[in-house]
Amino acid sequence: MNFKKICFIAAAALMTVLPAAAQTKKSGAHSAAHKDLLAKNATAKDQIKLIDQSSFVDLYDDLEPEIDIYTEGWNSRSVNPFKESDVPNSAVINVTGYHMPHPGRVTSAYGFRPRFGRMHKGVDIGLKMNDTVRAAFDGKIRLTNYEAKGYGNYVIIRHPNGLETVYGHLNKHLVKANQTVKAGDPIGLGGSTGRSTGPHLHFETRYMGYAINPAAIFDFANQTTHTDTYTFTKQTYQQPRNFAPSRQLAKNETGTNPYTSAAEKATYTVKKGDTLAAIARSYGMSTTTLRKLNNMDADERIKVGQTLKLK
């Protein structure tokens, strides 16, 4: 076999291998570029459809809530130095000087999870991997830790107003124990560590060990606090608050108080523009819980004028 023929055969063999290898290497980039192109070409109508469909999905509702790090008692690696006898029945907490921990939307609300027979003691906030997570108030880092079966990498901050805040599933801590921080200071990078199926922030607000519904303090939709103070009581700390203009209008029209809590209000009448997810968030529960209360199928839609049970 002459030299030219050998070269020809070798070149042909390489041609059969290289295209496949090159295609495999670039498939991820091509897929990402394709998704970007689709996103740029999506019409407003398409985006509205996507939002409407996602409103019926609670992304993290199928996960068992994180292990409660506050029930382990006091030691060097967990945080509950408070005795029940020391906790007052009522306390007014100053929540001025706040900073939202992250501007993402709430993807899973605070509330009881019937499937697992326990509470989800915070809210889950959507974010992208390595997004910055910030301190909600001035304070001192109480603990940084890792919990493989629950919070993953988490940070706990103790604040002068009496609250402690918990930030879970972080990809990385940016602070250390006993470090002083100001509201808005970066404390970690968002991630999906611990018991998590995707990047999100598990955020809790605690008063002397009691897990307050964060929606009672923060208006996540408008990225602010409801009021300058929050009154903690052992009877109402699990209830959210809602001071949306639409609810104020309802009060003016009917003469009744539209801020009745989920624990006090038994039903809700669906109005134009409502979604099941929005209603569930307003009353501190998941869409799954609301569907179960009303014997609704997974794909069943709500209708204007329909009465929903809230408990």
Mean pLDDT taken over the chain: 75
* pLDDT value at 159 more than 90: yes
* pLDDT value at 175 more than 50: yes
Side chain identity, residue 33: A
For residues 190 and 253, the model is more confident at 190
- Confidence at 245, pLDDT banded by 50, 70, 90: low
For residues 12 and 129, the model is more confident at 129
For residues 116 and 245, the model is more confident at 116
Average pLDDT over residues 138-156: 93
pLDDT for res 290? 86
- Confidence at 84, pLDDT banded by 50, 70, 90: confident
Main-chain phi, psi angles of 73, to 5 degrees: 85, 175
For residues 79 and 208, the model is more confident at 208
* pLDDT value at 169 more than 50: yes
Task: Judge residue 234's burial from the number of C-beta atoms within 10 Å of its C-beta, 0-12 exposed, 13-18 middle, 19 or more buried.
Answer: middle
pLDDT for res 254? 37
> Closest Cα to residue 137, out of 91, 206, 222?
206
For residues 262 and 234, the model is more confident at 234
For residues 63 and 15, the model is more confident at 63
For residues 263 and 102, the model is more confident at 102
- Confidence at 125, pLDDT banded by 50, 70, 90: very high
For residues 127 and 36, the model is more confident at 127
For residues 175 and 244, the model is more confident at 175
% of the chain beyond a pLDDT of 90:
40
Q: With helix as H, strand as E and coil as C, how does 76-140 read?
A: CCECCCCCHHHCCCEEEEECCCCCCCCCCCEEECCEEECCCCEEECCEEEECCCCCEEECCCCEE
Please state, in angstroms and rounded to a whole number, the distance separating the CA atoms of residues 92 and 259: 19
Average pLDDT over residues 146-157: 93
| pLDDT, tens only, 103-115 | 999 988 998 877 7
pLDDT for res 299? 87
Cβ(192)–Cβ(198) below 8 Å:
yes
- Confidence at 186, pLDDT banded by 50, 70, 90: very high
- Confidence at 188, pLDDT banded by 50, 70, 90: very high
| pLDDT, tens only, 14-47 | 444 444 333 333 444 444 544 444 444 444 333 3
- Confidence at 286, pLDDT banded by 50, 70, 90: confident
pLDDT for res 247? 47
Least confident of 12-21, 136-145, 259-268, 294-303: 12-21
Please state, in angstroms and rounded to a whole number, the distance separating the CA atoms of residues 292 and 6: 72
pLDDT for res 30? 44
- CA geometry: angle at 67 spanning 65 and 70, to 5°? 125
